[in-house]
């Protein structure tokens, strides 16, 4: 019983983390598409420690700071160019 509860908690945490990462990646691709003058489909993003992210595409690259790391929806994420 305890094992089943622990597994459920772990799965729930993984799902929340995955949802956050999807929102973060998608919103940064939208922001970077404008900043880099590059189609969203060509933008690649990578997370670094401390809510710093890098977006690159079309031969350009830009660093960002995620101001609200708990955003669950793309429209709620706020990116500060570095």
Query: What confidence tens digit (pLDDT) does each residue in 38-80 have?
Result: 999 999 999 999 999 999 999 999 999 999 998 888 889 999 9
Given a cut of 70, is residue 36 above it in pLDDT?
A: yes
Handedness of CA 47, 48, 51, 57 (dihedral sign): negative
Given a cut of 60, is residue 11 above it in pLDDT?
A: no
Token output for 58: 């079309």
Which has more pLDDT, 73 or 15? 73
0.85 cut: is pTM over it? no
Token output for 55: 């977006």
Distance CA 41, CA 65 (A): 21
Given a cut of 50, is residue 8 above it in pLDDT?
A: no
Closest among 50, 57, 53 to 24, alpha carbons compared: 53
């Amino acid at each position: 019983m305890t094992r089943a509860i622990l597994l459920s908690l772990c799965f729930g945490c993984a799902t929340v983390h995955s949802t956050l990462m999807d929102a973060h990646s998608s919103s940064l691709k939208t922001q970077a598409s404008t900043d880099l003058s590059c189609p969203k489909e060509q933008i690649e993003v990578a997370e670094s420690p401390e809510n710093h992210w890098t977006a690159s595409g079309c031969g350009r690259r830009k660093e960002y700071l995620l101001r609200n790391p708990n955003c669950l929806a793309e429209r709620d994420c706020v990116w500060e160019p570095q």
